[in-house]
Chains A and B, each alone.
Chain A
């Protein structure tokens, strides 16, 4: 059993627990976007960042992946952490201004209008759909393609995946609603984009 302190509260958890799991077990709130309790942690949205102090050194880590350690001191709401969260949500609000979930988080964190020019993506590349397809249905039909800002989620060759078992998990976990269910099957962003660009060309 490992004891650690989160925001001054000492808690006891088993080895191998992450800070986020430990916090949520005892009612300490940490916001997340790319995390799901049933799927493996991804650590890409960085919203769950917290400050940890170990052996006198303080650093910012993501709580969904950082394993608890004996005597760890965690701050979930320090000024440094809140500034980082605001920075992240400002970037996400720039990318996906129409997502209700992002808007709600932004409001919660006190971020009003992003200082960057508005973009119009629907997907925040949290990877939840990819992980559902790998770990739940185990069909491995979705993955990330391309690199950097051009990164997107797609199926091989951008074709609607024939082997999809229509479990709906991808649409269910998607935080922005970029994946919708149409006629019982998931409809993905790249399919809509293809349709849109098809309309433009045609």
Chain B
């Protein structure tokens, strides 16, 4: 049906609410990519199969990523008159058991991560309590979601629907208050009012650059020339970043609604979503969302019965990180080679096909409807002076609670890592956190009290970037980290400009030499010179920020570089050419396990006698260390002159 009135919208809303809260047991399985990667698909099959076999009247629904990826697959269960419970690390076996235990009105509490006793309707600023009159006693000790460390400090705005709705069903999005912002915009607001509201909110681009979104929309609107284009950058390429993926997989309509509102503000009738081809599930979800939006009269001609038209096309990327850069993205959309162009004439004035084009990141678009619904003042009340609202971070690496977190700007890095993230696993010592991907830098322990804020992170030598946050511990070699990022950029450089194509290559070669024990006096200065050439000379941000990982690790961990160059030593014990594996004869019990596991037969020794590693044959795979129960197999880096 085409929604043309508030009545229509209300009708669909009722349908959605009925799906969200059926008066029966409802099981939601987190089926985003992170969930699927840990086996959610098999859990789903098991549940579906079992429910059908037993002929039960249980609603089974797919949902998006709840953020606590460490605990995936996550399954939430709603039972009438009981709190909603979230089950962690589900398996197909547990799934089968779950179905039967539900029939017996019992659930294995060891599986429960947390519970919800109410539901938040962020758009209406309403918290609706569940009817928990028949809550089992055993549930009393289960913490609320909002009370567990992982969720306690988070404030879900862009992710508010993820994990709570079926992303494949527009009615559930509308049930949570979705598309009321768009309805209001089209019926009650002028384009100028929309722009003014977004400007006042202080929303800044979430793709990394942090440019004020409202100002960008205004420039695009003012630029002469038609048609105008609205683009969503879903080419998320930073290694370890998956914020945009989760939004697209978990709540695609929030992005669509944001784009239509933006199109109305700017005066555009054609939009593009450029999504990387390596996100097939996201593509599937956004495609479905667009189809449904069209069916319901929210995309296409006469949106919501007004005379505003807007359509969206999806473009898939071809596997180039550089196409996340806005001008390369537009070139790629035009069918040309994905190479950036100089931005002296901004793309808001001359972008896609030389027409005014407004490009924003997925997360930026997802924030827009809430700004309209709750108002600019509400949004501006969250965050710091210069960075308003929240930011989604992908917390990965040496961290206990790997996952997707959304925090208000201003929360400190320490809170994110220690409290939300649960600290570094296995009692290892925290070393640094890398933010901003290959364009960012490392922040050491002493600066962890810095607030998460665009300017603060940049001043510390890193940047907010798209939100990737990689935690590193004492076993991470910072020179190796720099080399890793440069290798990545070397492969992804488009190759157009000399500083990046040549400079990144040469910088990587220098780092390769250093990590191979062939560093020379003057290499650090050489890297610093290359960094300046890149900063000042590169055509786009890929190149101009390519040296950031090097410069920031140099500024905080210069001693590691010097150890590599001068002493040919890798203090963290990572660089293969600088370490050797050995067995501590004191600790070795001669169990022969390592000798048997060694893929190259490099360990020899008599049973019950201390074993030895032949360093000539050792390929440094680390298998011996992994299997040794006595901690006798170790590695060391003694250096050489």
Contacts and interface: CB of A to CB of B under 8 A. Distances in A.
B337 interface: yes
Given A65-B342, A144-B337, A148-B493, A80 B536 contact: yes
Interface in A75-107: 80, 83-84, 87-88, 91-92, 94-95
B501 A84 contact: no
B513 to A, nearest CB: 9
Interface stretch (A6-14, A39-47, A178-186, A194-202): A39-47
Interface string B341-367: 110110000000000000000000000
B490 interface: yes
Contacts of B522: 115
Contacts of B377: none
Contacts of A46: 497-499, 537-539
Given A65-B344, A144-B495, A149-B495, A94 B502 contact: yes
A92 to B, nearest CB: 6
Given A43-B342, A147-B320, A49 B498 contact: no
A49 B539 CA distance: 11
B532 A83 contact: yes
Given A88-B533, A147-B320, A44 B497 contact: yes
Contacts of B498: 44-47, 88, 91-92, 124
A162 interface: no
A163 interface: no
A67 interface: yes
Contact of B499 (A65, A91, A149, A150): A91
Nearest to B531: A87
Interface residues on A, range: 35 or more
A43 to B, nearest CB: 5
Interface residues of B, number: 33
A44 B539 contact: yes
B502 A148 contact: no
A137 to B, nearest CB: 20
Interface in A101-137: 115-117, 124-125, 127
A45 B509 CA distance: 21
Contacts of A80: 536
Contacts of B509: 116-117
Interface in B328-346: 337, 341-342, 344-345
Contact of B495 (A60, A87, A150): A150
Nearest to A126: B498
A147 B536 contact: no
A143 B339 CA distance: 13
A94 B491 CA distance: 19
A60 B533 CA distance: 11
B501 A151 contact: yes
A174 B5 CA distance: 65
A80 B337 CA distance: 32
A61 B537 contact: no
A49 B537 contact: yes
A60 B345 CA distance: 15
A84 B344 contact: no
A114 B615 CA distance: 37
Contact of B493 (A47, A87, A147): A147
Nearest to B336: A143
> Interface centre among B494, B495, B509, B529, by most A CB within 10 Å?
B495
B491 A148 contact: yes
Contacts of B341: 43
Contact of B536 (A84, A91, A149): A84
A66 interface: yes
B502 A60 contact: no
A141 B601 CA distance: 56
Contacts of B496: 44, 125, 127, 144, 151
Contacts of A91: 498-499, 502-503, 506, 533
A125 B496 CA distance: 8
A92 B502 contact: yes
Given A62-B342, A148-B501, A151-B501, A125 B537 contact: no
B497 to A, nearest CB: 5
A84 B537 contact: yes
Contact of B490 (A44, A62, A146, A148): A148
Contacts of A62: 342
B454 to A, nearest CB: 18
B537 A60 contact: yes
B532 A87 contact: yes
A116 B506 contact: yes
Contacts of B494: 147-148, 151
A122 to B, nearest CB: 15
Interface of A: 43-47, 49, 60-62, 65-67, 80, 83-84, 87-88, 91-92, 94-95, 115-117, 124-125, 127, 143-144, 146-151
Given A124-B498, A148-B490, 12 more contacts: A43-B497, A47-B498, A49-B536, A83-B536, A84-B532, A84-B533, A87-B529, A88-B498, A91-B499, A147-B320, A148-B501, A151-B495
7 contacts: A43-B539, A46-B499, A66-B344, A116-B506, A127-B496, A144-B495, A149-B505
Interface of B: 320, 322, 337, 341-342, 344-345, 490-499, 501-503, 505-506, 509, 522, 526, 529-530, 532-533, 536-539
